[in-house]
Amino acid sequence: MLALVDCNSCYASCEQIFRPDLRGRPVVVLSNNDGFVVARSKEAKLLGIGDLEPFFKIEHLLRHHDVAIFSSNYPLYGDISHRVMTTLRDFSPEVEVYSIDEMFLNLQGLREDWVEYGQGIRRTLWRDVRMPVGVGIAPSKTLAKLANRAAKKIPKCDGVCVLDGPQRWQWLQRHIPVDKVWGVGRRLAQRLGEFGIVTAYDLGQANPKILRRRTNINIERTIEELNGSPCFSLEEQPAPKKQIYCTRSFGEKLTELPPLLQAITLYASRAAEKLRAQEYLVTAIHLFLHTSPHEPNYYSRSTVVRCPYPTDDTRLIASLAKGAIRELYRPGHRFMKAGVGLVELVPKTLGQGDLFAIGQPARAGMMMQTLDRVNQRFGSGTLFLGAEGVQKQWKMRQAYRSPAYTTRFEALPVVNI
């Protein structure tokens, strides 16, 4: 058995931790660039505010109902997430951090009353972090996902749902549309519909071999999982990434080259940071930029540049990225977004293997190590390439951002006693 713990309306709940006056009130959190709604408190959902609704389309509705609006505050959410995960580690010796607001716990060998175990998790996380969560417990990840959904949706569950036998999970599956199954998106659901597969139960009863031929390979394992046979194992150490991307929409459309180059330098730096954290080197870099698809004369270009040698040096990666963007840039367009992808990676420890090939100078490695240490200790962005610029007028919009309560001294909450 394993458990999936998932924070309720994660970002909205994070905001409510330091604003208890907002508990019981409608709260929404917007995506990067204040683009659309990515988190809604229970009360906001009751107002009929949908998931992923463009902010500009519903702003009037939010104002009308006096909804509290927040821009995304990732330093805050990341820190709260870390507290949640740390607390959860006390409940199982083997865990997988699946996303910023979800964790799988292996329950193997823990003989417990699962409902009480789940309620214990909920009580503890509320007491220690003030984070409300749902707990789904089942023999496979896919079932634990469904259980988690039920824990939140079915009032009788009171936040915990245990699927410990076929009767229970089959009953639930009959009430869940197939596109809510983990790994089944809109497109696949449509295809499955052509075979008469509409609910999660239909999928569980389908013939895996036949469906595999007609759709994709993963569907076979999903079917097994729906029947209680685990196929996706718990990954304590997630597999190394095959690609690392950093892409952003700009706060305002960019027409000139210099700010584009600044932005791409920042994205290259972020991607290189992640690359070093994974202890890999990059050999090929993907660059792209495009205008808004909602505007006429849509312009979109991308290219791949090869590195002279496998590298994790921010300076080299940024310089290659800038060179490529110069080539892709055309005046007269209003660019909305650009990005850097490190697309061919090799483990750092693999080494060169070629006596005559040029490798990355050792000094570069030391320089990057110093850069990372300073930024880890004093905060991301303490040391950065001058080419990023200082003003950064292209930064994303964050008109409603809350303070970094837990990660900046000057933003610490003040308590009046």
Of the residues 14, 92, 144, 145, which one makes contact with DNA according to CB under 7 A: 145
| H or E element at residue 316 | helix 314-328
Residue 36 binds to DNA (criterion: CB under 7 A): yes
Dihedral sign for Cα atoms in the order 261, 265, 266, 271: positive
269 close to 388: Cβ distance less than 8 angstroms:
yes
Interface with DNA, residue 102, by CB under 7 A? yes
> What separation in angstroms does the CA of 109 have from each of 93, 144, 230, 281?
10, 17, 16, 40
- Say which amino acid occupies 69: I
**What is the smallest separation between the CB atom of 366 and DNA, expressed in angstroms?**
25
Q: Does 55 bind DNA (CB under 7 A)?
A: yes
Nearer to DNA by Cβ, of 164 and 252: the residue is 252
- Closer residue to DNA (CB): 25 or 191: 191
Residue nearer to DNA on the CB measure, 110 or 218: 218
Token pair belonging to 364: 């570069």
15 near DNA, rule: CB under 7 A = no
Instruction: Kindly state whether residue 184 participates in binding DNA, applying the rule CB under 7 A.
Output: yes
Q: Is residue 136 within 8 Å of 149, Cβ to Cβ?
A: yes
End-to-end CA distance of the chain: 46
Rule CB under 7 A: is residue 183 a binding residue for DNA?
yes
As a whole number of angstroms, the distance between CA 11 and CA 71 comes to 10
Q: Which two tokens stand for residue 187?
A: 């497109």
Task: Give the span between the Cα atoms of 330 and 323, in whole angstroms.
Answer: 14
212, 195 Cβ separation under 8 angstroms:
no
Q: Restricting to residues 224-243, name those near DNA by CB under 7 A.
A: 239, 241-243
248 near DNA, rule: CB under 7 A: yes
List 106, 199, 247, 375, residue binding DNA (CB under 7 A) = 247
For β-strands 27-30 and 37-40, DSSP reports them as: antiparallel
Question: In terms of CB distance, is 86 or 216 closer to DNA?
Answer: 216
Q: Which CB, 25 or 45, lies closer to DNA?
A: 45
140 forms part of the interface with DNA (CB under 7 A): no
Nearer to DNA, 200 or 261 (CB): 200
Residue 38 lies near DNA (rule: CB under 7 A): yes
Site residue total, DNA (CB under 7 A) = 56
Contacting DNA (CB under 7 A), which of 244, 263, 316, 321?
Answer: 244
Residue in 10, 133, 17 with CA at minimum distance from that of residue 74: 10
CB proximity list for 189: less than 8 A, separation 6 or greater: 177, 178, 179
Given the structure tokens 């949908």, which residue do they identify? 50
- The 323-362 contact track toward DNA, x by CB under 7 A, reads -------------xx-x-x---------------------
Q: Which residue has the tokens 């660039």?
A: 33
Taking contact as CB under 7 A, which single stretch among the options 11-19, 30-38, 170-178, 360-368 is the one that binds DNA? 30-38
Judged by the rule CB under 7 A, the positions of this chain that interact with DNA are 31-33, 35-36, 38, 52, 54-56, 59, 98-102, 145, 181-189, 216, 239, 241-249, 270, 274, 284, 286, 288, 292, 294-295, 300-304, 306, 336-337, 339, 341, 396
